[in-house]
Chains A and B, each alone.
Chain A
Amino acid sequence: MPKGTRPVPQPTPETQHFWDGTREGELRLQRCDACAHVYFPPRPFCPKCSSREVSVFRASGKGKLASYIINERGHPAWDGPYSIALVELDEGVRMMSNIIDCPQTPEALVLDMPLEVTFERLTDDITLPLFRPLAAGGAQ
Chain B
Amino acid sequence: MTSVAIVGAAETTELGRIPNTSQIQLHADAALNALADAGLKISDIDGVATAGESPTAIAQYLGIVPTWVDGTAVGGCSFMIHVRHAVAAIKNGLAKTVLITHGESGRSGVGRGGFRRGGGDGSLQGQFEAPYGPIGPPTLFTLPVLRYMKDFGMSHEQLAMVAVVQREWAAMNPRASFREPITVEDVLASRMIAYPFHLLECCLVTDGGGALILVSGDRAADFPTKPVYVIGCGESVETPMVSQMDDLTTSRAFRVAGAAAMREAGINHDDVDHMMVYDAFAHLPIYGLEDLGFVKRGEAASFIWDGNTRPGGKLPLNTNGGGLSYMHSGMYGMYALQESVRQLRGSAPAQVKGAEISLCLGVGGMFGASGCVVMSNVGP
Interface residues of A (CB under 8 A from B): 6-12, 15, 19, 40-41, 66-73, 75, 77-78, 81-82, 84-86, 94-98, 106, 111-112, 122, 128
A81 CA / B191 CA spacing, docked (Å):
13
Given contacts A9-B122, A40-B128, A67-B248, 14 further A-B contacts (CB under 8 A): A6-B120, A7-B126, A10-B120, A11-B122, A11-B127, A41-B128, A67-B147, A71-B133, A71-B138, A71-B139, A72-B195, A73-B138, A75-B135, A86-B147
Q: Enumerate 21 A-B pairs (CB-CB under 8 Å) in ascending A order.
A: A6-B132, A6-B133, A7-B120, A7-B126, A9-B122, A12-B122, A12-B127, A19-B127, A69-B142, A70-B194, A72-B192, A72-B193, A73-B193, A81-B195, A82-B133, A84-B140, A86-B248, A94-B244, A96-B241, A111-B150, A122-B131
Taking a contact as CB atoms under 8 Å apart, the answer to whether A106 and B195 are in contact is yes
Cβ of B225 to closest chain A Cβ, rounded Å: 43
A11 CA / B134 CA spacing, docked (Å):
19
Cβ of A21 to closest chain B Cβ, rounded Å: 13
A85 CA / B241 CA spacing, docked (Å):
13
Q: Does B145 contact A (CB under 8 A)?
A: yes
Taking a contact as CB atoms under 8 Å apart, the answer to whether B131 and A8 are in contact is yes
Cβ of A82 to closest chain B Cβ, rounded Å: 6
A41 CA / B125 CA spacing, docked (Å):
10
A3 CA / B305 CA spacing, docked (Å):
44
Cβ of B350 to closest chain A Cβ, rounded Å: 32
> What are the 9 tightest A-B residue pairs by CB atom distance, in nearest-first order?
A7-B120, A9-B127, A70-B195, A67-B147, A10-B122, A96-B243, A7-B130, A69-B194, A8-B120
Q: Would you give the 0/1 interface string for B108-127, flagging 1 where the beta carbon is closer than 8 Å to chain A?
A: 00000000001111101011
Chain A residues with Cβ below 8 Å from B133 are: 6, 71, 75, 77-78, 82, 84, 98
Cβ of B71 to closest chain A Cβ, rounded Å: 26
A6 CA / B146 CA spacing, docked (Å):
25
Q: Would you give the 0/1 interface string for B193-232, flagging 1 where the beta carbon is closer than 8 Å to chain A?
A: 1111100000000000000000000000000000000000
Q: Does B144 contact A (CB under 8 A)?
A: yes
Taking a contact as CB atoms under 8 Å apart, the answer to whether A67 and B127 are in contact is no
Cβ of A120 to closest chain B Cβ, rounded Å: 10
Taking a contact as CB atoms under 8 Å apart, the answer to whether B146 and A67 are in contact is yes
A112 CA / B244 CA spacing, docked (Å):
18
Q: Does B129 contact A (CB under 8 A)?
A: yes
Q: Is the interface of A mostly helix, strand, loop or mixed?
A: loop
Cβ of B21 to closest chain A Cβ, rounded Å: 28
Interface size bracket, B side:
35 or more
A40 CA / B128 CA spacing, docked (Å):
10
Chain B residues with Cβ below 8 Å from A12 are: 122, 127
Q: Would you give the 0/1 interface string for B178-195, flagging 1 where the beta carbon is closer than 8 Å to chain A?
A: 000000000000011111
Taking a contact as CB atoms under 8 Å apart, the answer to whether A9 and B147 are in contact is no
Q: Does B65 contact A (CB under 8 A)?
A: no
Knowing A11-B127, A12-B122, say if A68 contacts B132 (CB, 8 Å). Answer: no
Chain B residues with Cβ below 8 Å from A15 are: 124, 127
Taking a contact as CB atoms under 8 Å apart, the answer to whether A67 and B194 are in contact is no
A10 CA / B122 CA spacing, docked (Å):
5
Taking a contact as CB atoms under 8 Å apart, the answer to whether B120 and A86 are in contact is no
Q: Which residues of B in the span 2-57 have a Cβ within 8 Å of any Cβ on A?
A: none
A70 CA / B145 CA spacing, docked (Å):
12
Taking a contact as CB atoms under 8 Å apart, the answer to whether B248 and A84 are in contact is no
Report which of B132, B196, B197 forms a contact with A106, defined as CB distance below 8 A: B196
